[in-house]
Amino acid sequence: MFRPSGSGFRQRMAGLTLKGALYASWILGVFPFTYDSWTRKLHRSKWLMAYGLVLNAAFILLVVTNDTESETPMKMEVFHRNALAEQINGIHDVQSLSMVSLVLLRAFWKSGDIERTLNELLDLQHRHFRHYSLEECRGFDRSVLIKGVAVILEIISMLILELGMSPNFSRQLFVGVTSLCFMLLAVLLGATHFHLAVMFIYRYVWIVNRELLRLVNNLANGETVESARVDYLLDLYHRLLELSDRLASIYDYQMVLVMISFLLANVLGIYFFIIYSITLNNELDLRSVVFFQALIINMLDFWLSIEACDLAERTARQTSTILKLFNDIEQLDEMVERSISDFALFCTHRRLRFHHCGLFYVNYDMGFRMAITSFLYLLFLIQFDYRNL
C-alpha cells in the first residue's frame, strides 16, 4: 500500500511522503500497529500503545510545565492593551490542550476499529486493486504530497513563531518548544491518517469510475460486456462506501476538534494581528510577517482537510454521471442493463460523503460557510470590544 504508484517523480515523492508519515507515526507512538507481511495484516501491539500513551502524556506534561509562550513581548503588549484578548487566549490554550489529549486518547481507544478498517483497506488493495495501474491518478499523488508539505510547513512555522517571538533563549524555552512541536506533530499525524485513508478511498473510487468508462467504451464500440463485471464493480463500490462510513465514524470527534481548533486559531490570530498592527500602531515588520505566514499555513492546512473529502465526494458523484452514459447504448444485454440499473439505484441511495458526528458533511459548501462564519465571528469580536481597540 505504501509502495509508490509509479516510476514518475511525483509518484515517488508521494510514496516517500507516505513512508515518512508511517515511520514518524511509529516513532511518535500514534500508530500502535505492527505489520505482518506474511498474512498482510496489521496487528495491534499493546507495547506500542503503552509507549505512545506514555510518550504523548510526557509531551503534554512538558508543554504544560514549560509554558513560556505568554511571556513574549508582543503578546504582553497586546494583552496589556486588550484584556479580552488575554481571556480568549486563555480559553484557546485550554481548548488546544484538551483537544490534543482527546484526539490522542480517542485514537488509542478506537485502535481496534482502526485496525479492522485498515486491514480491510489492505485486503481490498491486495485482492482487487493490485492489478490496476495507478499512475494516472494524479489527484492522489498531488494531494498526498501537498498534505506532507503542509504538515512540515506547519511544524516549521510553529518553530519560527515560538523562537522568533521570544527575546531570551533559555533551557526551559527549548524544552517547551520541542515538546510542543512533537505534540503538534502527533496531532497532525493523527489527522493525516484520516486524510490518507480518504485519499486511498478516493483512488479506489477513481479506479472504479475508470473501469466503468472502459465498459461504456467497449459497449459503444460494439463489443460485449459481461454483467458480472458490472456487478463486481458494484460490489467493490459498496465495500468502499462501507469503509468510508466506518472511517468517518472512527475519526469524527478527532476531525471536528482539529477543525474547530484550526478555525479558532485563525480567528484569534487575525484578531491579535489587528490589535497589534492597527490599535498599537506598530509598523509592519518582520514579526508580523512571521505571524502572517503562520496564519496562511494554518488556513492552507484547514482547507486541505476539507479538500480531500470534497475530492472523494466529487469523484463518487461522477460515478452516476458515468452511469448515465450507458443510457444511449442500443441493444444492451438485459442482464447488463439490470446490473447497471442496480448500480445507478445504489448510487442514488448511498453516496460517498463524510458526515462528522451527524453535524455536517465535509465539502466545499461547508468549508465556505465555515470561512464566512469565522469572518463574522471576527467582526463580532472586534465590535464587542471596539472601545478598547
Partner 1 sequence: MSPNTWVIEMPTQKARAHPFPRRISPYRTPSRDAFTRDPPAMGPSPPLKNHDHPVFEDIRTIMSVLKASGLMPIYEQVSSYEVGPPTKTNEFYSFFVRGVVHALTIFNIYSLFTPNSAQLFYSYRETDNVNQWIELLLCILTYTLTVFVCARNTKNMLRIMNEILELDEEVRRQFGANLNQDFGFSVKFLVGIAASQAYIIVLKIYAVQGVITSTSYILLAFYAIQNGLTATYIVFASALLRIVYIRFHFINQLLNGYTYGPQQKRKGGGRRRQRDNINSYPNPNSNPAIMEHFPEDSLFIYRMHNKLLRIYKGINDCCNLILVSFLGYSFYTVTTNCYNLFVQITAKGMVSPNILQWCLAWLCLHVSLLALLSRSCGLTTREANATSQILARVYAKCREYKNMIDKFLTKSIKQEVQFTAYGFFAIDNSTLFKIFSAVTTYLVILIQFKQLEDSKVEDPVPEQT
What are the residues binding partner 1 (CB under 8 A)?
81, 136, 138-139, 206, 209-210, 213-214, 216-217, 220-222, 307, 310-311, 314-315, 318, 320-328, 330, 337, 341, 344-345, 348-349, 363-365, 367-368, 379, 383, 386-388
Angle, CA 356 vertex, CA 118 and CA 64 arms, to 5°? 85
Angstrom distance (rounded) from CA 157 to CA 188: 14
- Burial class from Cβ neighbours inside 10 Å (0-12, 13-18, 19+) for residue 119 reads middle
Residue 372 corresponds to which cell in the numbers above?
464566512
218/19 Cα distance (integer angstroms)? 38
Residue closer to partner 1 (CB basis): 189 or 215: 215
Tell which residue, 147, 142, 88, 139, has the closest CA to residue 305: 147
Which residue, 19 or 138, is less far from partner 1 as judged by CB?
138
State the residue for C-alpha cell 504530497: 145
CB of 314 vs partner 1, minimal distance in Å:
5
Q: How many CB atoms lie within 10 A of CB 213?
A: 13
Is the Cβ of residue 57 or residue 83 nearer to partner 1 in the bound state?
A: 83
Pairing of strands 33-36, 41-44: antiparallel
Per the CB < 8 A criterion, the answer to whether 374 and 267 are in contact is yes
Beta bridge partners, 360, equal: 356
Q: CA–CA distance from 354 to each of 201, 243, 306, 358, 359 (Å)?
A: 12, 11, 10, 10, 10
Record the cell numbers describing residue 128, joined without a space: 482487487
Identify the bridge partners of residue 33 per DSSP, sorted by sequence position: 44
Closest CA to 204 of 375, 331, 352, 349: 352
Residue 219 CB, shortest distance to partner 1, in Å, is 9
Nearest to 254 by CA among 153, 58, 89, 110: 110
Q: Residue 2 or residue 364: which is nearer to partner 1 going by CB?
A: 364
Please report how the helices 227-274 and 111-124 are oriented relative to each other, as an axis angle in degrees rounded to 10: 130
